[in-house]
Structures are given as C-alpha cells and as structure tokens.
Amino acid sequence: MTDRATLLTRLARLLATDAAPTDLASRLCTAGRLILGADGAAVTAAKTTADRMTCCTTDAVIARLEDLQDVTGEGPCLDAFRYGTYFTLTVDETPDTRWPEFTRAAVDAVGRVTIFSFPMRPGGRTLGVVSAYLVGEGQLPEPTGAAQLVADVVGAALLRDPALSTAGALGSRDEVSLASGMVVAQLHVPPDDALAILRAHAYATNTTLAATARRVLNRELDFREGL
C-alpha cells in the first residue's frame, strides 16, 4: 500500500510537472487519476446530495457518468457522499439492484466500465467525492485504503484548510504565505498549487498548516526531495 510520504511526493511531482493552463481542481483531479491508475476521474463537492457540483472531470466518459447520476438520482458517487464510505460498481448489461436506473442508462451511454467512488473526508465530515473509472471490469492498481487516502488528501488540498480550527493557526497566515512562496520557488508551481501542497502535507502528516509552514521556512521540509 502506498504510504503517506510516497503519496505526497507523487502529488507534488505531478502538480509540478503539469504545465496545462487549468484550474487547481482540474490539476488535482488529473493527479488523482494518475496516482490511482484509472482511465478517468472526477471531483464533486457538496453540502447535500441535492446541491452537489461537479468541480472537474478528466474526460467525456466520467462527465457523462456524473451527469447520469444527477439525472437518475442514484449511483455510487451519490451514495459515497450520502454514507461517507467507498462504493464500487461494474456497469454492464445486468442492472445493479442498488442503482438499477443508473446502470441501465450508463451501459447505453458509455458501455462497460467499473466505477470507484471515494468520499473526501479529511476532517471526518464528507465534503465531496473523488470518483474514478476503468474501461471494462477490473480493480484499481492501488488498494482501497491507499485510494481513500488519495481522496482525503485531494479534499484537504482543495476544499478546506484542515488547520483552520486549530489554535494558533489563524495567527500564522504570514508564515503560510511565505512558505507558499518558497514552495512556488522549489517546484515552479502557481501559488494556489503551492498552498494545496502545504495543506495536503499538513493533513497527511496529522499536523497543522502553521507547523508545516514553519518547517518549510526553517528549511526542514523541501518538496524537491524525491523529485
């Protein structure tokens, strides 16, 4: 199973080498797809299943699958958000009893695929879902635990600052800003990407954003290591 340090190194490397002029959510979505070894991926965010929003998709297949879940009101992504746990589905000619209308529509629209949906829950509360698919039947190269870690780290990087409610964090914004600037220089990434990497590292190492920033400023943490 991929450990946290390896995951963070891979995330930083992928963000640093992605030169496409896209938004942060799209770059994180693409990085997640590559780390998971999937054919496509999507990130959705929501407060409830009724107001969920697809932040980004990597291709037309996963975009259509997300749209069909909105249309039918059922599917693995919706239940991953609703129940805060991982769901998978192989779409074929036999309707799945959990989501019969969605599977009927999906096989007609995109053919046989296997869908994997992981809730993003970096602080314990589900903030959205990372979904991925493989053409045909199969399993992701990464085990479920590692894939869930990917989803949680993407959630920490994209949707919330895991240290905002931590004592002292709100008084350390200057340090965070300076540390973000150092990460920009280390990896040659945009400022939003640099902050996302700091947030992801804070979450994955179970520390605060402020403490992570201080390690960067003290040159104890250099994201170029391992690249």
- Total residues found in the chain within this entry: 227
Taking the C-alpha atoms of residue 220 and residue 206, their distance in angstroms, rounded to an integer, is 17
- For the chain, residues with pLDDT lower than 50 are 1, 161-171
Q: How far is CA 99 from CA 78, 90, 209, in A?
A: 10, 11, 40
pLDDT of residue 191: 87
The CATH T-level fold of domain 169-217 is: Arc Repressor Mutant, subunit A (1.10.10)
Is residue 96 within 8 Å of residue 134, measured between CB atoms? no
Domain parsing of the chain, residue ranges: 4-158, 169-217
pLDDT of residue 21: 57
Sign of CA dihedral 43, 30, 106, 116: negative
CATH architecture for the domain at 4-158:
2-Layer Sandwich (3.30)
What is the DSSP secondary structure assignment for residue 172, as one 8-state letter?
A: G
pLDDT of residue 160: 54
Residue 111 in tokens: 């053919």
pLDDT of residue 66: 93
pLDDT of residue 176: 85
Q: Is 4-158's fold the same as 169-217's?
A: no
